[in-house]
Amino acid sequence: MIIKKAVLPLGFAANAVASGIKKSGKLDLALFYSEIPARASCLFTSNKIQAAPIKINQKYLKVNKYFQAIVVNSGNANCFTGSRGLKDALNTTSFVAKALKIRKESVFVNSTGVIGKRLPLSKIRNAIPALVAGLSKQEIDKAKRAIMTTDKFSKEITVKFKIGSKTVIICGIAKGAGMIAPNLATMLIFIFTDANISQAALDKALKINIEESFNCITVDGCMSTNDSVILLANGAAANPLIDVRRNFNPFFRALHLVCLELAKMIVRDAEGATKFIQIEVKGAKNYKEAKIAALSIANSSLFKTAMYGQNPNFGRIVAGVGASGIDVREKDLKIKVSPLHKKEIDVEVSLGRGNGSCVVYTSDLTPEYIKINAEYN
């Protein structure tokens, strides 16, 4: 069953407060908590400049197998802040751990917002008691809004399914609207499940699904410094164990739906966008080649502005394919494009080289995108 809202699984709670990080006074500090220590599977940006929270999370993953909390601030990326930024991220986990009476190594920390500014740590420390005191299932509605920056709407989805006689829930929320490109984009993805699942199965399911969802979207071809996907599984559903050989497919399919729908929501909310564009490349030698061609088209500013202007200059697509470096022959290249006046556009490209295919999702490029990012500070 698909629910188009965030419904936390058994054993999870959330909350959010306005700590004062954002000058607007909007919600800017969120907490997600599992009463039961949970297995974690994570993926982070491949950007060589990584924000302090990512470095702390990677450190904790090396020394800890189970996690119970994720603390997230918006309005400040805590990136390019040196050793002080690392200390701020570490202290944030300590504040939360003390309030929850758990180990700091079981707390993930995440930040999103402006790069190059230190966190107002005193504001965060002062907000933690109320943040913890207000934890409940219902406050997920506040938490999903507190992680947003330029997002116009919250991204959320829940899937319920059966493993044996037990109902299992996977709930996902996301933020992201600009600076979107593999691998990963300016996104924070938090996925919660009460599934009883092995670490190997959890890692396998996330790794495969990331490749076909969050790593197949692009808004502007720009990769950020804070991008994270964190999946927590606390086993509270008490279902028969899911491992790579048993009960894996139902979990995998449900997670696939969560990841793909959240990824599409990010593109639909792309900064300044008026079009949602699906690009399917067929006839490649393999999936990898098809993806290279699809992303080459999707990241072309000329293609994206043509889609905004509803200009049927399909030479932009031809040039994008050629720029990918794939040795495609002109006589084998076939292109189909749906009507450009609609809000959703389908582009189909056949390379005539094999049976490989890939679908990538992108948006148009508009004057509003320039305005948003020219003023973002």
144-150 average pLDDT score = 92
Domain locations along the chain: 2-268, 276-374
What tens digit of pLDDT does each residue of 65-118 get? 999 999 999 999 999 999 999 999 999 999 999 999 999 999 999 999 888 999
- For residue 357, the SS3 value is strand
Q: Cα–Cα distance between 281 and 288 in angstroms, integer? A: 11
Task: Determine the Cα–Cα distance for residues 101 and 48; give it in Å rounded to an integer.
Answer: 34
For tokens 């148009």, name the residue: 364
CA–CA separation, 151 vs 113, rounded Å? 12
- The correct answer on CATH 3.55.40.20 for the domain covering 2-268 is no
DSSP state of 185: -
Structure confidence at residue 312 (pLDDT): 87
| Other beta carbons less than 10 A from residue 127's beta carbon | 21
Round the average pLDDT of the chain to a whole number and report it: 93
d(CA 261, CA 199): 24
Task: Say how many C-beta atoms besides its own lie within 10 A of residue 327's C-beta.
Answer: 10
Summarised one tens digit per residue, pLDDT across range 26-71 is: 999 999 999 999 999 999 887 788 899 999 999 999 999 999 999 9
Q: Measure CA of the first residue to CA of the last residue in the chain; give whole Å.
A: 41
pLDDT at 146 over 80: yes
Annotated catalytic residue: which of 81, 92, 150, 186?
Answer: 186
The pLDDT tens digits of the residues spanning 294-327 come to 999 999 999 999 999 999 888 999 999 999 999 9
Confirm whether 2-268 and 276-374 share one CATH topology.
no
Please report the pLDDT score of residue 178 as a whole number: 58
By percentage, how much of the chain surpasses pLDDT 90? 83
Residue bearing the bigger pLDDT, 152 or 272: 152
Strands 188-193 and 166-175: antiparallel
Report, as an integer, the average pLDDT of 275-287: 97
- Return the pLDDT at 363: 94
- The pLDDT of residue 313 is 87
Instruction: Give the position of tokens 């008691």.
Output: 129
Instruction: Give me the pLDDT at residue 371, please.
Output: 84
Greatest alpha-carbon pair distance for the chain in Å reads 67
Residue 144 corresponds to which amino acid?
A: K
Helices (H), ranges, 8-165? 52-63, 82-100, 121-133, 140-146
Is 186 known to be catalytic?
yes
Closest by Cα among 169, 343, 148 to 254: 169
The tokens for 277 are 């564009």
Neighbouring CB atoms inside 10 A of 352's CB total 13
Predicted TM-score (pTM) of this structure: 0.92
Which ranges of the chain would DSSP assign to H, the alpha helix? 52-63, 82-100, 121-133, 140-146, 199-211, 248-268, 287-298, 301-308, 315-323, 367-374
3-state secondary structure of 212: coil
Q: Which residues contact 170 (CB under 8 A, 6 or more apart)?
A: 9, 158, 159, 161, 191, 192, 193, 195, 251, 254, 255, 258
What local confidence, expressed as pLDDT, does residue 370 receive?
A: 78
Q: Is 209 left (phi over 0), alpha (psi -120 to 50) or beta?
A: alpha
Evaluate whether 58 touches 45 at the Cβ level (below 8 Å): no
**Architecture of the domain delimited by 276-374:** Roll (3.10)
